[in-house]
A and B are shown apart, each in its own frame.
Chain A
Amino acid sequence: MELQAVLMAAGGGSRMMDLTYNTRKPLLPVGNKPLIWYPLNLLERVGFEEVIVITTKEVQKMISTDPKMKLDVKMKLDIVCIQEDADMGTADALRHIQQKIKTDILVVSCDLITDAALHEVVDLFRAHNATLSMLMSKAHEFTETVPGQKGKKKTGEQRDFVGVDGTGKRLLFMANEADLDKGLVIRKSIMRKLPRMHIKTGLVDAHLYCLKKSVVDFLADNKSVSSIRGELVPYLVRKQFSKSMTSPNVNDEADQKLKKKDGNANLEIQILSRDEVLLQLTRERSCWNDHRGDMSEAYHGVRLRCYVHIMDEGMCYRVNTLAAYIEANRLAPKLFDEPAVHPSAAISVRCLIGADSIIGASCQISDKASIKRSMIGASTTVREKVKVTNSIIMHGVTIEEGCNIQGSVICSNTVIGRGADIKYCLVGSAQRIEPEAERTNEVIVGTDQLMEI
């Protein structure tokens, strides 16, 4: 087998607690499908037959009972549960399943919605025999107004600095603004080998990584690494150009024995493979070099290589903030061509449903309702003369007559009273909005959630 897929679905959605305090992040509906469906669909389209899903018990229960998941997802899901409060990072989770991993892995995050051509990422991994290969995309500005934002523009998220070489494929430098004290520090060894580096900041990390099996073994030995994105990836990128990595002799046993003491060096030993002699012969005889202008051989003799594929066009969203969630809802329907209106929805004749709206299963839409650019979840009841514009309504919501909902997110099992006027609000789960209420730009959640900080 070539690659094993691992889906990380144990995250809590810490940046959108208002949405996720009742529904776990992997099950948030986007375009009336649970969020976890999108990466699973991506893997299935590409040709995977089995996926290892790391998630919590709650989510596992929901997945096994949800009919949509059972129908649409034909792959075999190997679900591994971890404790919710164990506070495991992604790398810790990989260490947890180390026994199941037999070959190189493809790690995907559950909040990734993309139509990227995965073969580009995997081709880099295969062709250059890379240790790490990842996917990034040019960030798009979010244009929709986010409900519950008190005016001002959002605090700029910490930027990522990504340095690539001239071809735009080899990853040379990666750091987050938070880790840099005063300025960007670039090692001289990198500059000597690759004097031309392009540094990009407007990129979104898709959290899709192809990792060699030796990295997983390395993680098992080094228990201090807990997050893939936060710690492992920058470590690997830095390690490319560290002194110990440049082509050691295969027969240098004394050198290897010394290095066994240093835990970090285990990675180097594990990269050596069988038939190294033949591969070296191939490299010697091949007249290819990945750079020119200096005296070194291909890849500068570096054994640990990290590659990145940067998507210029196409959709790539990580649904980890409210703004991203709304944007994703806008665009996700374009990914699949199911009919916008579910056949089991009971829609009366005199209602007006816009072309870019999606109506879920078993909905009841009554007369004179007007639904534009919105997402209506399953089993929702919309009574007469309701106007819903630019909103996201989740499952099991009841909207009484005469309501006007604009630019809002209404979570599941809520009841909106008659004549309510909700603009740019985020209504939490299982709430009741009293009739004739007028709310603008508010976050309405239950009082028991207010203490969670």
Chain B
Amino acid sequence: MADCGEPDGPGNKDDITRSKNEGKELSKEEKQRLRKQKKQQKKQKERKNEKSETEKEKTPVSLLPPPRPVATQKAPSALPAPASAPIPVPASAPFHSSPAPSPADKPAKSKAELKAERRARQETDRAAKQPGSSSSGIKTKVPLSELNPVVKRLPEHVQVDDPAVVKRLAKKLERQQIPLRSDYGYKVSLFSHLHQYSRKAPLTQQLSIPSTVIHPSIVRLGLQYSQGIVAGSNARSVALLHAFKQVIRDYTTPPNEELSRDLVNKLKPYISFLNQCRPLSASMGNAIKYIKKEISNIPSQCKEEEAKTKLLTCIDRYIEEKIVLAAKAISKYAIEKISDGDVILVYGCSSLVNNILCEAFEKSRKFRVIVVDSRPRLEGREALRRLVQRGISCTYVLISALSYILPEVSKVFLGAHALLANGYVMSRVGTSQIALVARTFNVPVLVCCETYKFCEKVQTDSFVSNELDDPDDLMVTRKGKTQLENWQDVSSLGLLNLVYDVTPPDFVDLVITDLGMIPCTSVPVVLRVKNLDQ
């Protein structure tokens, strides 16, 4: 707003400055006149700068994909809005140069266009102030229209304390005829922006019993998720794809619709329902994206039966490639890293890590395993059972004994729920603890993760996006007494049952994926390669 000093239309300015100096409020007409003058000045300035700025205008947009803002939650909602506006404007800016005559002769420009232009100028000013780091940045030839979706809004499931968002979600669910699951119990203030559900209040309470709105296999799947019968990233994805196969089998195209569009619309309420039962995992999200893409790629002249069999084989192939074969590839790489006499530490029950250890044992590597477990899930017992059943000699400790046991350990193998775009590992709560302590003891930490679990989210702490499990799980009954039975009556007590945490890449030495063994910081490269492939 440094334009106030410039000379402009005669006469009126004196009045305005006089009234400003006198401290009076500008009258309406005076304000309008001020605004018009500023617009004219800006237009002249823009015409001068736009030739030199056309190149720079592209860069502010490419610099804009902001890492998911961590500390402030309100600021990002303001960012996406102005960021999306300047994108169409720079494209149109070169066109404005041709009608060279003074814009002062065109008072009839719409307010929206003027606003957009103003914002564009703000962005260019901001970009001009930044050091010339733009050219070294990503110089991919991404067309302007695709830059829009890079800037995303915060998802609804991390904005539970915002009543407007909650209302929007309720409306959306009502439209899809899916019941809304209500939160349960007192939420710790740091995590009050997340949902917290009770396992004793399943979503099926509010559904009709022969479920007609939602396909029965999806209802069954939702129940299995919320009760924890299907748990673990891989298991959940496979179960999801299995349920989708049944949905596709039972699907018939309504008379005036196309399969490619209608089936995607049919899947949306099911996905909302599953989200209500338990928040979707990153692997499930990627699987859903893949299926939606496959469905929308079906040519319209394809007959229904053909299309269905095509989709079913696609799903089978996805599972085969991304889960089964990936596990085999990862085992192959990981076995190279296991030598005789190793003492391997694992945490919780990761299906991939168990797979690796079992295969290594079959290839006659001599090692022993230390299984670390933590409450309230106590998943390590299941891992222990599976390993001991194969004949591997195991030790079992709780996570509180970690620093006592680490001097014996030669390697740490961890599983992952998802690998984030900035190299952070999202895994069961407690994993970052293990990685941290292992780092202090100089024990190598290897994370095993299939590429279909890589997601484009960026997170640097475990607060912003997490999952809160049922707080009643923390209650334990010993000798007939449950101390925390009436925890809800104590007003100053809150129970927190976190599910995930993020581990920084400094603590992870190697990530073993089906593409090979990569350092943690190469995850964005893999993501980029994947995106280009698709």
Contacts and interface: CB of A to CB of B under 8 A. Distances in A.
Interface string B267-286: 00000000000000000000
B220 interface: yes
Interface string B100-133: 0000000000000000000000000000000000
Contacts of B446: none
A3 B324 CA distance: 34
A188 interface: no
Contacts of B323: 281
Contacts of A3: 209-210
Contacts of A118: 209
Interface stretch (A189-197, A284-292, A419-427): A284-292
Contacts of A282: 230, 235, 238-239, 242
B245 interface: yes
- Dominant secondary structure at the B interface: helix
A330 B229 CA distance: 42
Interface in B187-214: 202, 204-205, 207-212
Contacts of B227: 127
A127 B209 contact: no
Contacts of B220: 126-127, 129
B418 interface: no
Interface in A36-52: 46-49
Given A119-B204, A126-B219, A287 B351 contact: yes
Interface string B367-391: 0000000000001011101001100
A286 B232 contact: yes
B234 A288 contact: no
Contact of A119 (B202, B228, B246, B385): B202
A278 interface: yes
B504 interface: no
Contacts of B526: none
Contacts of B326: none
A278 B239 CA distance: 7
A255 interface: no
B211 A285 contact: no
Nearest to A298: B229
A122 interface: yes
A286 B223 contact: no
B319 A278 contact: yes
Contacts of A337: none
A313 B139 CA distance: 68
Contacts of A286: 229-232, 235, 239, 351
A4 B209 CA distance: 10
A288 B236 CA distance: 12
A123 B227 CA distance: 10
A18 B381 CA distance: 60
A285 B229 contact: no
A99 to B, nearest CB: 19
A295 interface: yes
Most buried by B among A283, A285, A286, A295: A285
Nearest to A279: B242
Q: Which of B229, B242, B389 has the most CB of A within 10 A?
A: B229
Query: Which of the four size classes fits the interface of chain B?
Result: 35 or more
Contacts of B210: 1-5, 47-49
Interface in A246-301: 275, 278-279, 281-289, 292, 295
B462 interface: no
A118 B202 CA distance: 13
B228 A288 contact: yes
B69 interface: no
A46 B383 contact: no
Nearest to A119: B204
Contact of A295 (B212, B228, B388): B388
B381 to A, nearest CB: 6
Contacts of B229: 127-128, 286, 288
A117 interface: yes
A259 B411 CA distance: 49
Interface string A88-125: 00000000000000000010000000000111001100
Contacts of A122: 204, 209
A278 B383 CA distance: 21
Contacts of B238: 278, 281-282, 285
B241 interface: yes
Contacts of A117: 205
B159 interface: no
B291 interface: no
Contacts of A47: 207-210, 212
A48 to B, nearest CB: 6
Contact of A2 (B216, B232, B349): B216
Contacts of B212: 1, 47, 49
Interface string A291-325: 01001000000000000000000000000000000
B382 A287 contact: yes
A5 B388 CA distance: 46
A379 to B, nearest CB: 36
Most B CB within 10 A of own CB, among A283, A287, A292: A287
A126 B215 CA distance: 12
A18 to B, nearest CB: 36
Contacts of A106: 209
B379 A287 contact: yes
Interface string A1-15: 111110000000000
Nearest to B225: A127
B224 interface: yes
Contact of B232 (A119, A128, A287, A289): A287
15 contacts: A3-B210, A4-B210, A5-B210, A119-B205, A127-B220, A127-B229, A278-B245, A282-B230, A284-B351, A285-B351, A287-B231, A287-B235, A287-B382, A288-B230, A292-B381
Please provide the 7 A-B residue pairs with the shortest distance between their CB atoms, ordered closest to farther.
A47-B208, A287-B349, A286-B235, A2-B216, A285-B235, A285-B351, A127-B223
Given A123-B204, A126-B220, A286-B351, 8 more contacts: A5-B210, A47-B207, A123-B223, A281-B238, A282-B238, A282-B242, A287-B379, A288-B382
